[in-house]
């Protein structure tokens, strides 16, 4: 991976679940959790989103923004948020997934002997200065939020 801890986080502007643009650089001054996930309302992605939801009080109490990114559109994100009462923002990164590619979180995947291009389950913690503070490439969907809070000394 060429992105390293301490590197400036690649800036982006993406639409959220209601079609409004969110620009990463506008969030300087606060920590941001940026997590990439394959698809709304699938078992692993739901576990990950619900873990962030269930630990939301700890993130919000410390002013930490959580942004989930997948290829799904605004309507899919809105439905996912409503179904699971998710209190954070979901962003859409459509093909060719330029933002996910900049974070090395989009690429060749294998499933049941089939190869395809898809979103990797990676998580990045971006500090108040807009630099990468932590990189998680081996994500356990059901406990990613717990892991982040433990690593930040907030659990």
DSSP 8-class letter at 16: B
Do the Cβ atoms of 133 and 148 come closer than 8 Å? no
| E strand intervals along 44-148 | 65-70, 89-92, 106-111, 114-119, 123-126, 132-136
**Given 24, 33, 45, 97, the catalytic residue:** 45
CA dist 132 and 47 (Å) reads 25
Q: Any catalytic annotation for residue 97?
A: no
> Looking at the annotation, which residues are catalytic?
45
């Amino acid at each position: 991976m060429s992105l390293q801890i301490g590197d400036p986080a690649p800036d982006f502007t993406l639409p959220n679940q209601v079609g409004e643009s969110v620009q990463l650089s506008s969030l300087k001054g606060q920590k941001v959790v940026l997590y990439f996930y394959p698809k709304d309302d699938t078992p692993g992605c739901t576990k990950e989103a619900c873990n962030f939801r269930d630990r939301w009080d700890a993130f919000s109490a410390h002013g930490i923004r959580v942004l989930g990114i997948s290829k799904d559109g605004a309507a899919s994100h809105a439905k996912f948020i409503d179904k699971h009462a998710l209190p954070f923002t979901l962003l859409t990164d459509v093909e060719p997934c330029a933002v996910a590619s900049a974070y090395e979180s989009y690429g060749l995947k294998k499933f049941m002997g089939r190869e395809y291009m898809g979103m990797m389950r990676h998580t990045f913690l971006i500090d108040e200065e807009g630099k990468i503070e932590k990189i998680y490439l081996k994500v356990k969907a059901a406990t990613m939020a717990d892991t982040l809070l433990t690593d930040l000394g907030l659990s």
